[in-house]
């Protein structure tokens, strides 16, 4: 508790459900509607006039860099106004009445520095804790926070669902760890253009990837528990410092392990981001080719799309898209097994194919802990 009181980052967290509701309603209300009761602030940037425009979605990046922990710095990819005060370019939370009156820092809400109104950037550097995703625009605050961050010095949140000697995956429930998940969603928006869920995390689970023995998250995928289509994945992101290590494939494969346990033929929520599509196409191509050449369907002279879907756990529509990508499907939706065999052979020769004899690419079944 004392650590929280001394934490300069806490005062800058986008806050509670009530404030979230105020933000969403502020966008949708017309000019004639009553204004929400918030502290008096100078509005520096007007909200979108189009009531159908999603709050948080910007056409271009408005934060230049992210300092992720004390030693990782990189550009953002997309813009978001959710890190900022509603209707302004102030970083922090909306202060209502006497809320945060007892804040240990007793400072005014932080404002961006050295940026003119004509600049596209609202903030040069956002400092984000690489353990808990709390944030600030003051470097020293991040340094001080990192020293006392509970998730650095203690066990990360959630329950372990996969633990190999190399990687650990934890299931984190949004209903139980809402602040952590909300901050994670804010961070994610800087790198996913179709990310629009930030605060209502109660109906989501987040599967966070760590190196075994380390508390620094490397990436995650989320799952909507109320998905009408029963999608096994809502969004996926490997954080920039950890990309190009096939960690996206690891998480995609794990999501299918979960859905197969539930006997579901399913897939990710659509549309996929460009990088997400690349990752899925790699996974789908290798799994389909394995089942046709070395797996359960290897002795078949003809294979239907439905059979391939049931065998792999991949939706028929995704199977069709993958086969078209491989140029292995004719105009009558007949599968060209010989073409798949030739593609699979080339993958092995180029060492791009890493699937094992059990049909796994990255996941090792013996380390799965998903029975409950």
Q: What positions carry a catalytic annotation?
A: 269
Q: How far apart (Å, rounded) are the C-alpha atoms in residues 267 and 288? A: 14
268-275 contacts, C-beta under 8 A, 24 or more apart: 268/231, 268/232, 268/233, 268/234, 268/236, 269/224, 269/227, 269/229, 269/231, 269/233, 269/234, 269/235, 271/194, 273/192, 273/193, 273/194, 273/235, 275/248
Rounded distance between C-alpha atoms, residue 120 and residue 122, angstroms: 6
CA-to-CA distance for 61 and 83, rounded, in angstroms? 12
C-alpha distances (whole Å) from 344 to each of 278, 315, 325 are 17, 21, 14
Residues forming beta bridges with residue 171, ordered by sequence position: 159, 207
Percent of the chain that is helix, strand, coil (3-state, to 5): 30, 15, 50
- At residue 283, the 3 state secondary structure works out as helix
8 A C-beta contact, residue 90 and residue 44 = yes
Task: Please state whether beta strands 123-128 and 167-173 pair in parallel, antiparallel, or not at all (unpaired).
Answer: unpaired
Question: What is the distance, to the nearest Å, from the Cα of residue 142 to the centroid of all Cα atoms in its chain?
Answer: 22
Nearest to 231 by CA among 280, 191, 185, 183: 280
User: Which residues lie across from 126 on neighbouring strands?
Assistant: 66
């Amino acid at each position: 508790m004392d650590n929280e009181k001394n934490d300069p980052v806490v005062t800058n967290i986008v806050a509670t459900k009530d404030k979230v509701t105020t933000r969403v309603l502020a966008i949708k209300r017309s000019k004639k509607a009553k204004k929400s009761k918030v502290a008096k602030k100078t509005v520096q940037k007007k909200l979108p006039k189009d009531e159908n425009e999603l709050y948080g979605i910007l056409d271009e990046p408005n934060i230049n860099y992210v300092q992720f922990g004390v030693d990782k710095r990189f550009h953002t990819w997309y813009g978001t106004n959710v890190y900022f005060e509603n209707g302004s370019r102030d970083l922090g939370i909306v202060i209502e009445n006497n809320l945060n009156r007892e804040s240990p820092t007793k400072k005014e809400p932080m404002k961006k520095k050295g940026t003119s109104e004509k600049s596209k950037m609202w903030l040069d550097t956002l400092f984000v804790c690489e353990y808990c995703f709390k944030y600030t625009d003051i470097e020293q605050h991040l340094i001080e926070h990192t020293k006392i961050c509970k998730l650095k010095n203690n066990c990360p949140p959630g329950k372990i669902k996969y633990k190999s000697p190399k990687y650990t995956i934890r299931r984190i429930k949004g209903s139980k760890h809402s602040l952590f998940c909300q901050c994670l969603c804010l961070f994610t928006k800087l790198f996913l253009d179709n990310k629009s869920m930030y605060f209502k995390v109660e109906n989501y689970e987040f599967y966070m990837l760590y190196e075994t023995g380390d508390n620094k998250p490397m990436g995650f995928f989320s799952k909507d528990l109320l998905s009408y289509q029963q999608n096994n994945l809502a969004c996926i992101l490997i954080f920039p410092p950890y990309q190009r290590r096939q960690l996206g494939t690891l998480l995609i494969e794990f999501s299918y392990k979960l859905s197969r346990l539930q006997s579901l033929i399913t897939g990710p929520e659509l549309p996929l981001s460009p990088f997400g599509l690349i990752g899925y196409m790699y996974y789908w191509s290798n799994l389909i080719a394995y089942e046709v050449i070395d797996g359960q369907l290897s002795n078949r002279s003809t294979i239907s799309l439905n059979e391939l879907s049931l065998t792999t756990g991949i939706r028929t529509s995704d199977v069709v898209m993958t086969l078209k990508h491989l140029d292995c499907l004719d105009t009558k939706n007949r599968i060209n097994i010989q073409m798949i065999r030739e593609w699979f052979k080339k993958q092995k020769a180029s060492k791009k194919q890493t699937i094992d004899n059990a049909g796994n690419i990255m996941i090792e079944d013996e380390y799965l802990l998903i029975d409950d």
